[in-house]
Amino acid sequence: MFPILSWLVFLPLGGALVVFLLPKKEVGLMRGVALVSSLAVLILSLRLCLGFAQGKTEMQFVEVSPWIPQMNVMYFLGVDGLSVSLVFLTALLGFLACAASGCILHRQKEYFILYQLLMTGMMGTFVALDFFLFYIFWELVLIPMYFLIGIWGGPRREYAAMKFFLYTLAGSVLMLVAIITVYFSATPHSFNMLELRNVTSTLDFPLQIFLFLAFFAAFAIKVPIFPFHTWLPDAHVEAPTPISVILAGVLLKLGAYGFFRIGFPLFPAAAHYFSFALAILGLLNVLYGACVAMAQTDFKKMIAYSSVSHMGFVLLGLAAMNATGFNGALLEMFNHGIITGAMFLLVGMLYDRAHTRDLNQFGGLSGPMPVYAFYLTFCSLASLGLPGLNGFVGEFLSLAGSFASYRILTAISALGLIITAGYFLYMLQRVLFGPIATNPRQYSDLQATEILTLTPLTIIMIVVGFFPIVILQFQETAVQGLLKWLF
């Protein structure tokens, strides 16, 4: 059998090696290599989705072989309904962000090496099923990201990179402790993420709680859950455009994915115990994130806080502990990746022209930039949950799911929908409407390549908005399987 998952994970690493061997001056060639390898990953991920059998609960495309037999560490990869859409999301955003990397103007060689290393790490995290391997990939994401923000970022890049690195590392260390505890709790000792749930779910309740919280620390920081979110605005704002896209589009999903893959199935009792607390955190994320986003004058920071708010809907769906909520949370993860990815691309395109992100400096851009105005309006509408576009379906299912479990709490969270509409439309008003604030000639409309990077994302927004089944069909069976295990 063709080891498609290994190819998905290690193709970018191969690309990184090729770039490493190229002479420093061959910038075009490096971009070409990175682009080709990420395009190949995208094609492979499509092939994966097409070959994915939707009715099955078990892992598919499994690759398993002993790696460090002395410690019972396995090279164990596989996908199921929880991860397959995220693999596609990673591949798609990986390709588009790579295509948008033309804004990187110095030290391109290191950039493309690190970028592809990052791709390997992210892809690996989503498909690894052995804790040892998972942890390696999880940490592998961290290192290139540190450099990508720290070298190619904005004025406060060093602070932001260090904050991101230390914050996430603090979380992962706790996770490492938990992984080791879990490893020793099984006889024979095992890192198998799937089979361990039979052991961990029988552990003493207090120990389960402790382990869940240790994993929670790692995941909560990544999601990010209030009050562990303050690394995010700094990192997003300082990172260069393509890296912001990856950060918001893919990295935040790692945390939520962790709950689905590890936190909930391994510790069902703890999951039930903490579900209401998670719902409260979800509510806080939604409302607090939206309120802070409303107060922003920096375009990128506004989008960053909108991510905090949107991830709150994922938490609500997760806390619902029912099929509708889980489906909604998973779909919202995918949708948020698509929408916010597009939003960061749009912010970057404006920044390239205006060299500022201050919302009060713009105005009337509908005039000189009608195509840009169309895309910005379109993506904002998707983000604020307009029915017919993808954002609505995820939020709707998450809220409906959590409404079945927590009526009042969900009703309060729904206020977030109003505030979200508020800050997005207020942004549109300041950027696109009104008289033109500054020199209009500086605002040339979008070029063909920019339109090409945005179009696939907008098409997905429409398709998923009208036919959510396209994504839901992949996750439905896995969600049912997870629920059966939880109850």
Partner 1 sequence: MVNVAHLIPLFPFLAFWVNILLGKTLHRASAWISIIASLISMVLSISTAQGFLAGAGSYPLGTWLTFFGQPIAFGVIVDPLTVMMLLVVTVVATLIMIYSVGYMGGDPHFSRYFAYMSLFTASMLGLVLADNLLMLYIFWEGVGLCSYLLIAFWFERPAAARAGLKAFLTTRIGDTGLLLGIFLLFAATGSLSFTDLSKANGPEWMLMAAALLIFSGAVGKSAQFPLHVWLPDAMEGPTAVSALIHAATMVAAGVYLVARCFVLFAAHPVCLEVVAVMGGISALMAASIASVNNDIKKVLAYSTISQLGLMMLGLGVGGYSAGTFHLMTHAFFKALLFLCAGSIIHGVHTQDIRLMGGLFYRMKTTGITFVIGTLAIAGVPPLSGFWSKDEILAQAFGPHPVLFITALLTSFLTAFYMARLMLLVLFGKSRSELQTHESPVTMRFPLVVLSFFALFAGLLGSPWMHHAFQKFLAFQVPYPSEEAPSKFVMGLSIGVSLLGIGLAYSIYILHRRFLPEGIRAQFGWLYRLLMNKYYIDEIYEAVFVQPFLRLCRLSFRFDMAAIDGVVNGIANLVRRAGGILRRLQSGFVQNYLLIQTIGVLIVIMTLLGKLCFQF
Which positions lie near partner 1, rule CB under 8 A? 163, 166-167, 227, 229-231, 288, 291-292, 294-296, 322-324, 364, 366-367, 374, 381, 386-388, 392-393, 396-397, 399-400, 403-404, 407, 410-411, 414-415, 417-418, 421-422, 425-426, 429, 432-435, 468-469, 472, 476
CB of 384 to partner 1, least distance (A): 9
Q: Please say which residue, 211 or 304, places its beta carbon nearer to partner 1.
A: 304
**Measured between alpha carbons, how far is 458 from 226 in angstroms, rounded to an integer?**
30
Q: Residues with Cβ < 8 Å from 391, sequence gap 6 or more?
A: 335, 336, 339, 382, 383, 384, 385, 461, 465
**Measured between alpha carbons, how far is 433 from 435 in angstroms, rounded to an integer?**
7
**Measured between alpha carbons, how far is 350 from 431 in angstroms, rounded to an integer?**
10
Q: Please say which residue, 132 or 396, places its beta carbon nearer to partner 1.
A: 396
Judged by DSSP in three states, 79 sits in strand
Residue 452's CB: how many other CB atoms inside 10 A? 12
**Measured between alpha carbons, how far is 194 from 130 in angstroms, rounded to an integer?**
8
3-state helix, strand, coil in the chain (%, to 5): 75, 5, 20
CB of 461 to partner 1, least distance (A): 14
**Measured between alpha carbons, how far is 155 from 334 in angstroms, rounded to an integer?**
31
Q: Please say which residue, 44 or 284, places its beta carbon nearer to partner 1.
A: 284
CB of 278 to partner 1, least distance (A): 19
CB of 346 to partner 1, least distance (A): 18
DSSP letter at 101 equals G
Q: Please say which residue, 45 or 322, places its beta carbon nearer to partner 1.
A: 322
Q: Please say which residue, 10 or 433, places its beta carbon nearer to partner 1.
A: 433
Residue 50's CB: how many other CB atoms inside 10 A? 7
**Measured between alpha carbons, how far is 447 from 452 in angstroms, rounded to an integer?**
9
CB of 467 to partner 1, least distance (A): 8
Q: Please say which residue, 173 or 415, places its beta carbon nearer to partner 1.
A: 415
Q: Please say which residue, 37 or 420, places its beta carbon nearer to partner 1.
A: 420
CB of 375 to partner 1, least distance (A): 12
DSSP letter at 487 equals -
Q: Residues with Cβ < 8 Å from 393, sequence gap 6 or more?
A: 328, 331, 335, 464, 465, 468
CB of 232 to partner 1, least distance (A): 11
DSSP letter at 128 equals B
Q: Are 353 and 442 in contact (CB under 8 A)?
A: yes
CB of 57 to partner 1, least distance (A): 17
Q: Are 458 and 387 in contact (CB under 8 A)?
A: no
Q: Please say which residue, 173 or 295, places its beta carbon nearer to partner 1.
A: 295
Query: Closest by alpha carbon to 461, among 345, 341, 375, 379?
Result: 379
Q: Please say which residue, 39 or 386, places its beta carbon nearer to partner 1.
A: 386
CB of 230 to partner 1, least distance (A): 4
